[in-house]
Amino acid sequence: MLPYKTLIQLNRASNISLYIQLCNSFISLITDGTLQAGDALPSTRALSELTGLNRNTVKLAYEELVSQGWAESIERKGIFVLSKLPALSKNKKNVSNRVLDLQKESFIWDNPFIGKKETENFQQSVLTIDDGFPDVRLTPIDLLMREYRSISKKFYGKNFLKYGYPQGSEHLRNALCRYLADTRGLVVTPENLLITKGSQMGIYLAAQLLLKASDHIAVGVSNYRSADEIFRYTGASLLRIPVDDYGMDIDVLEEVLQQQTIKAVYIIPRHHFPTTVTMSMERRLKLLKLAKEYRFAIIEDDYDFNFHYDNKPYIPLASIDHNRNVIYIGSITKTFAPALRTGFMIAEPGFVEASSSLRQLIDKQGDSLLEEAFSSLFDNGEMERHFRKSLKIYRQRRDLFCEILHSRFSNVIDFKIPEGGLAVWSVFDTSISLSDLSQSAAKKGLKIADGSFYNNEIFIPNGLRLGFASLNEQEIEQSLELLRKII
C-alpha cells in the first residue's frame, strides 16, 4: 500500500470540506501518475484510520471520485481507479530535473514582448516624481461615486448592468459631444465617438485597422514609447521625423512622402511626449494639406488638452480637418484619475463602427455605470469646475517646481518652462547616470524613473519628464531637495 498518511495532506482549518480535500488529493495522485488505472484504493476503514477522518467522510470522498469519473466501485471488491483512464507515466524526476523541466515551454508560442518592462506601480505610498500624472487627491471622487450610487439605485439603473452600446454610454457620448464643441470647437455626433479604456486603447484600435506588415507610419524622433510599441506590434515600420521647439518638422515629412508611401502619421501636437513642445499652427495646416494630398491618416493624441497655462491653447487638428483625415484620441481620466481608464476616439462613423467591432473581440464594452456617472458630472458642470480648479493649482505647482529647478539645478539640468501639461522635460548633464540616480533615489525613499522609457533606436537624451502636478508644495520642496542631495 502507498504511504497515504504522508501523501494525503488535509487542512482542517480550511473552508473547503474535508471530503472534497480528500477527493482532490486522490485526483492529484491519479493525474501525477502515482495511482494508475485499475489500482485499488484503500478501504474506507483503513483510510479512516490513516487520515483520522470519520468513515462517512471517506465514503463521501469516494462517492465524489466515482461521480466525477475518476474511480469505480466494483461489488464485493472495493473502490478502484477507473480502468478506462489513459495510462499516465509516474513522475519520478528529482528536484533539480523538475526545475530544469519547468524552464521549458509546455507548448509552442511566440512572445513579442521579451525584454519589455512592466508598467510601474504608482499605488504605493512613496514620495514620487512621476512623469506627469494628475493629483488624485484633487479628484472629486466622492461626487463621481455619488452619481454612481444614485444611478444604480434608480429604477432604470439596473439596466446599465446589462450589455449596452459597444460604442459606450449614449449619455456620455452626447455629453462629450457638447463638451468638445464648447471647449475645442470640435463638432461631432455620437456616431463619430467611441468610448475606450483610455487613450492607449484608442491608439491600439486605430493602429490595428490602419496598419499591417510592410506598411509605414511616421512618428517623432522623440515619441510616446507605448505608441511606438503598438505600431511595431502590427508589423509596420516606423519612420522617424525630427521634432523641434515647434513640433514635428512637417517639411522633413514632406520630403519623406515624396520618396515613401505612408499609411499614417502619429502626432501629439499639444504638449508633445516626452518633450512637452507644442506644434505651430503653420505646421498643423501644412500637415492637414499633406494628409489630403497623399491620403494618409493622422492619429492625433490629445491626452491632456485641459491643462494649458500661459495662453489659450490651439484647437485640435480634428477641429479644422475638413477632409476627415484625423483620428482624434482623447482621455478623460488622464486628467481626472488615471486608473479609472476612460477615454475616447473620434473618427468617421464607419471607422468608429469597425473599431467598436474590433474592441468587442477582447472587451465586450466598458463600465456602463461609470460612464453614466461621468456623463452626469459633465452635464452638471462638475468636470469643468474640477478642471478649472486643478488648472489653477497645477500652474502654481509648475511655477514653484521650475523656480527650484532654475535656482538649484541650473548647472546639471537643462529645461524650458512648459506652456502646459503636467511635467517638465529635463535633460540632465551627461556626467549623471539616470540609472544610478534612480537606484540611489530609491534607497533614500524617492521614486524617480531611470529615463529608459524615453529612449528609442536614435533618441537617447539622458532626460526625464519630471512631473510636478501630483506633488503639493511641501512635497515639491522635499523631493527636489532630496534629488539635489543625491546628485
Per residue in 433-445, pLDDT tens?
Answer: 999 999 999 999 9
Under CATH, which number does the domain 127-134+385-486 receive?
3.90.1150.10
The verdict on pTM exceeding 0.85 is no
- The answer to whether 301 and 268 have CB atoms below 8 angstroms apart is yes
d(CA 467, CA 117): 20
- In terms of DSSP H, where are the helices of 185-237? 199-210, 225-233
**Top-tier CATH class for 166-380:** alpha beta
pLDDT at position 95 is 47
Per-residue pLDDT tens for 390-406?
Answer: 999 999 999 999 999 99
- Residue 124 clears pLDDT 80, i.e. is over it: no
Q: Where in the chain are the domains?
A: 4-81, 127-134+385-486, 166-380
Please choose, from the candidates 386, 385, 374, 391, the residue with its C-alpha nearest in 3D space to the C-alpha of residue 176: 374
Cell reading at 406: 532654475
Cell reading at 107: 507548448
Give whichever of 117-121, 190-194, 368-372 has the largest mean pLDDT.
190-194
Residue 454 DSSP label: G
Query: Which value, in Å, is the radius of gyration of the alpha carbons in the chain?
Result: 30
User: Would you call 162 helix, strand, or coil by DSSP?
Assistant: coil
Cell reading at 36: 494508475
**Chain mean position to CA 4:** 48
Residue 40 DSSP label: B
Using the structure block, give the residue that is written with the C-alpha cell 487520515.
Answer: 51
Same-fold call for 127-134+385-486 versus 166-380: no
* pLDDT grade for 147, boundaries at 50, 70 and 90: confident
- Residue 100 clears pLDDT 60, i.e. is over it: no
* Residue 365 CB partners (closer than 8 Å, separation 6+): 163, 164, 165, 166, 168
* pLDDT grade for 161, boundaries at 50, 70 and 90: low
pLDDT at position 155 is 62
* pLDDT grade for 482, boundaries at 50, 70 and 90: very high
Q: What is the chain's mean pLDDT, rounded?
A: 90
* pLDDT grade for 432, boundaries at 50, 70 and 90: very high
pLDDT at position 305 is 82
CA angle 189, 190, 194 (to 5 degrees): 125
Please choose, from the candidates 354, 349, 303, the residue with its C-alpha nearest in 3D space to the C-alpha of residue 198: 303
d(CA 367, CA 164): 10
Amino acid (1-letter code) at residue 65: L
CATH topology of domain 4-81: Arc Repressor Mutant, subunit A (1.10.10)
Cell reading at 43: 478501504
* Residue 115 CB partners (closer than 8 Å, separation 6+): none
- Residue 376 clears pLDDT 80, i.e. is over it: yes
Cell reading at 268: 501629439
pLDDT at position 121 is 58
